[in-house]
Amino acid sequence: MASAIKRLDADEEVPEEAFDVEIVDMDFHVNPREEELRPYVEDDRALDRLSTEFGMWPIPDKWDAAYAIEEGNEGLFTQGRAEVAEDVREACDRFAIDEPIVNAGINGLPQQHHPVLKNAVLEAGNSYMLDHFVDEGVLTALSISKWDVDHALAELDRWGTEDGVVGAYSWYDPREPWGATQFDPIFEKLESLGLPLLLHGSLAFWPQHSYVGDNMLTWTEVLGFDWPIHTMVNAINMIMSGVFDRFPDLNVVFQEGGHWWLPFARYRMDEFYEMHPEDVKITPRKFEDGERYLDRSPSEYLRENVYVCTQPFALPRNAGEARDMLDLSMARDTFCYSSDWPHQTLDPPTWFFTSRAFRDDQETRDAILHQNAHDILRV
């Protein structure tokens, strides 16, 4: 008996229902090529050195994520390279993504030593993004340096009020965490501009030059756990050092730092703080402000000021377990969908339409897919 057959639609790669729901993608990488960035480097001296072989990337890695990927370094481009707005739109159509938040994703910058050259590259990347994406109506997160607060402020002055710039993009790394008071001028500026701070993992983790780092030889360890550990360190450091008491309207989004650690941090922070909080008054901000305790329980800042991107979601297959994890993680208030296009951890929104956890709770689904993003991005 002949079966009914039909040829599958070649253009759509996620369930049909995904096209009926608004999807904002908090982490979509654009990859301008070096030769496209060069015209945007304004200082000829910097351009001269950047155009010299090994001018920008002199640090040899001890280990590389590429070892884990079937196609080596090409893993960073499993889907290709978006260079202009049209590329982004074409890629998003396939995955039912309505509003990608693009970034230039030059995630190797924090690893570089030279302060002048890396600032020049960062500026060039932002100028490129302004021309090719912001001006083309694509919502964009532009980059600010973590290594040079004055430079970050100058960049925010340059483009911080541009329509279409919806967030500031920077990095977490194994160096001083974002709770350090030296970053207060950035927080103050972001608050006044109404821009969230998007913090992405950086390649500064790759060559660890430490006993721990030197013995982490797999992608699973480094990308899978080192990034989330440092995300936790940064989020908790910002909370416990009083960043959000001083800047209550600041929102921080951690990208590629995992998300299922939230229940652990939520309960453990509250337990430890409520048990023995007497050191809080001697942390720099609280000491300066003459305050004894945090204004709220630590977990409340996690719910109110901290957001985490979901890629890769790694949702438990059992719907009941998935629901519990989502509840414990305060997902309705903290999770933002991200695809990480075009990298090897690409996460299309399939999970949201194949798990019963979301079929039974569309409010949480919509919060993750767009509402939380709307709440914090300057759109």
Strand pairing category for 197-201 and 165-172: parallel
Subset of 29-58 contacting another protein (CB under 8 A)? 33
Task: Indicate the residue among 35 and 278 with the shorter CB distance to another protein.
Answer: 35
The only residue of 208, 283, 297, 350 in contact with another protein, by rule CB under 8 A: 350
The only residue of 147, 347, 355, 365 in contact with another protein, by rule CB under 8 A: 347
The only residue of 39, 80, 137, 248 in contact with another protein, by rule CB under 8 A: 80
Query: According to the binding rule CB under 8 A, does residue 69 interact with another protein?
Result: yes
**How far apart are the C-alpha atoms of 334 and 322, rounded to whole Å?**
16
Query: According to the binding rule CB under 8 A, does residue 16 interact with another protein?
Result: no
**How far apart are the C-alpha atoms of 34 and 40, rounded to whole Å?**
10
The only residue of 83, 162, 191, 333 in contact with another protein, by rule CB under 8 A: 83
How far apart are CB 366 and another protein at their closest, in Å? 21
C-alpha atoms less than 13 angstroms from C-alpha of 343 in its C-beta half-sphere: 18
- Contact segment (CB under 8 A) with another protein among 79-87, 106-114, 241-249, 271-279 equals 79-87
Assess contact for 205 and 228: CB atoms under 8 A: no
103 conformational bin, left if phi > 0, alpha if psi -120 to 50, beta if neither: beta
Query: According to the binding rule CB under 8 A, does residue 7 interact with another protein?
Result: yes
Task: Indicate the residue among 82 and 104 with the shorter CB distance to another protein.
Answer: 82
Cβ contacts of 375 within 8 Å, gap of 6 or more: none
**How far apart are the C-alpha atoms of 181 and 155, rounded to whole Å?**
20
- Contact segment (CB under 8 A) with another protein among 72-80, 98-106, 190-198, 238-246 equals 72-80
Q: Which two tokens stand for residue 199?
A: 């913090």
Q: Which two tokens stand for residue 58?
A: 């002199």
For CA atoms 15, 19, 25, 29, the dihedral sign is positive
Task: Indicate the residue among 199 and 315 with the shorter CB distance to another protein.
Answer: 315
Question: Which residues of the shown chain bind another protein in the complex (CB under 8 A)?
Answer: 1-8, 10, 13, 33, 69-71, 73-75, 77-83, 87, 90-91, 342, 344-348, 350-351, 354
